[in-house]
Amino acid sequence: MQRKFIVNIIILIGLNLLIKPFWIFGIDRTVQNLVDAETYGMYFALFNFTFLFNIALDMGITNFNNRSVARCNDFLKESFARIFSLKLLLFVFYFMLMLITGIVIGYNSLQIKMLIPLLINQFLAGFILYLRSNISGLLLFKTDSLLSVIDRVIMIVFCGILLWGNVTTQPFQITWFIYIQTFAYAFTCLLALAIVIHKSSFHTPFIDLRFFKTILRQSIPFAILHLFTSIHNRVDTVLIERLLPLETGAAQAGIYASAYRLLDAGIIVAYLMSVICMPLFSNMIAQKKKVNDIVKTSFILLYIYGLIIACASFVYNHELMDLLYVKHVTESAAVFRVLMLSIFPIVLTYIFGSLLTANGNLKQLNIIALSGVGINILINALFITRWGAMASAVAAIVTHSYIVMVEIAIAMKKFQFQISRTFILRLSIFAFGVMAINLISYRLPFHWGIDFIIMLIATLVLVFVSRLINIKQVLSLFKAS
């Protein structure tokens, strides 16, 4: 099982590392640089606004479905046609709710015009996740891996033509960016739908109110968790844009977006691991198998990953932002330096959150998430008017550190994990080693890019020296596969 887990992780992450970095650093970054900070800040605030109540699109069905299909494959055939109908009804409700909310909080006609396709994109992206939850629930991880990158490939092609193909004399418009996303999501959605229909013996969608009531009652704890998580992850830019004066708020939201883009990119690996871990944990728990080895492997991989990125971003903050952006570099670098520290607790949350979700500990997770929302909004509300985007960076660190510490404590109690002193010592040695390597490499008399590469190589050596990863076991996995 552990070998299968590692192989699927390599395939999933490998495909995404081939495609998504070019999307983030080639396409998305270029768009940010071409449009002014205020325009992109408005887009990013609206984009995050669509996340705040996107639970109305799903009501926890996707996570509930993923867990249910992994535990019993017949659930897909029995429920898919009716859930399909329910998802369409939820979209209508979500669309009206968000439009009315946008009007109530004072969005102007330009913002509403931009909001409408973003709401459609949110539905398509969410429906793709639901369809993929069926595929990953069947443990078809390779198919799911391919679906995870198709939309980005389409976006790269069409955005690339508009950015560099000399097919238009107009400056690049943010609305073009949004409409290309709509097309890419629609295509991926239809492809995923065809695969799921093939696997589910699909029947004509129909409205079954009794089934809707039952499924919503069972999925409501997942819905509440998703709602609270979305709020404390996405409310920051909305608060920045709303609490500060119009032009200042949009500019600060744009500065925060520049820093957050790299955080969002860094989280991808952890999210991809959770895509595999969630159904795998659910399947193993249902069969009363021990999850200790998988949890430990996942933890080590993400501990290493998160710590390296957090330390490197803190030390090389200005160099990285200057490499990627041309506007507000100094301001963005200051926010980036603080914000990226939160990636370490965030990536660990993906493992322990998935484990507790698979185990059905939704009540505890919802309490944690709700308190996280309170902490995040309180810090933002108190300090945004004084510190601007920096307040949201601080709020992110405090919120995610609190969440992961409580989740780890609950997981250790529920699963009775035993942690040896030797293991803690290795984790500590690695952490101090990574910090020292970054600080030393930064002071080397070379171009910062060479210093950065030296740091990465030295850190990789430290991974094996600290014995967090046993090189013999890694090689044996590849030989076995």
CB atoms within 10 A of CB 434: 22
Specify the DSSP class assigned to residue 170: S
Note the pLDDT tens digit of each residue in 240-254.
877 887 667 878 887
Indicate whether 405 and 435 sit together in one domain. Answer: no
How large a percentage of the chain has pLDDT more than 90? 25
- Model pTM score: 0.71
Domain ends where: 385, 418, 451?
Answer: 418
Residue 351, token pair as written in the block: 């493992």
Residue 301, token pair as written in the block: 């991989």
Indicate whether 75 and 43 sit together in one domain. Answer: yes
Indicate whether 464 and 403 sit together in one domain. Answer: no
Indicate whether 108 and 166 sit together in one domain. Answer: yes
CB atoms within 10 A of CB 399: 27
Indicate whether 438 and 413 sit together in one domain. Answer: no
User: Cα angle at 68 between 67 and 74, to 5 degrees?
Assistant: 140
Which residue range forms the structural domain that includes residue 467?
420-481
User: By 3-state DSSP, what share of the chain in percent is helix, strand and coil, each rounded to 5?
Assistant: 85, 0, 15
Domain ends where: 391, 418, 445?
Answer: 418
Do residues 144 and 12 make contact, with C-beta atoms less than 8 angstroms apart?
Answer: yes
Distant-in-sequence, close-in-space partners of 33: CB < 8 Å, separation ≥ 6: 325, 326, 327
Residue 341 has pLDDT above 90, yes or no: yes
Please give the tally of structural domains in the chain: 2
Indicate whether 185 and 290 sit together in one domain. Answer: yes
The pLDDT of residue 479 is 46
Per-residue pLDDT, averaged over 36-61, amounts to: 78
Indicate whether 93 and 235 sit together in one domain. Answer: yes
The pLDDT of residue 480 is 40
Indicate whether 333 and 469 sit together in one domain. Answer: no
Buried b (16+ CB within 10 A) or exposed e, 195-231: bbeebbebeeeeebeebbeebbeebebbbbbbbbbbb
Q: Which of 71-75, 226-230, 468-472 has the highest mean pLDDT?
A: 226-230
Distant-in-sequence, close-in-space partners of 227: CB < 8 Å, separation ≥ 6: 53, 55
How far, in Å, CA of 348 to CA of 217, rounded?
Answer: 29
Q: What is the mean pLDDT of the chain?
A: 82
Indicate whether 111 and 148 sit together in one domain. Answer: yes
Per-residue pLDDT, averaged over 80-92, amounts to: 84
Helix (H, G, I), strand (E, B) or coil at 113: helix
Residue 27 has pLDDT above 60, yes or no: yes
Note the pLDDT tens digit of each residue in 125-145.
888 888 887 787 776 777 777
Note the pLDDT tens digit of each residue in 164-194.
888 877 888 888 889 999 999 999 999 988 8
The pLDDT of residue 338 is 92
CA distances from 430 to 105, 376, 471 (A): 48, 30, 16
* Nearest to 257, CA basis, from 44, 16, 35, 1: 44
Per-residue pLDDT, averaged over 213-227, amounts to: 78
The pLDDT of residue 477 is 43
Indicate whether 257 and 340 sit together in one domain. Answer: yes
Note the pLDDT tens digit of each residue in 208-219.
777 777 777 777
Residue 412 has pLDDT above 70, yes or no: yes
- Lowest-confidence pick of 155-159, 285-289, 427-431: 285-289
Per-residue pLDDT, averaged over 219-242, amounts to: 79
Residue 308 has pLDDT above 90, yes or no: yes
How buried is 92 (Cβ within 10 angstroms: 0-12 exposed, 13-18 middle, 19+ buried)? Answer: exposed
Place of tokens 């659930």: 75
- Lowest-confidence pick of 36-45, 92-101, 127-136: 36-45
The pLDDT of residue 432 is 94
Per-residue pLDDT, averaged over 341-362, amounts to: 90
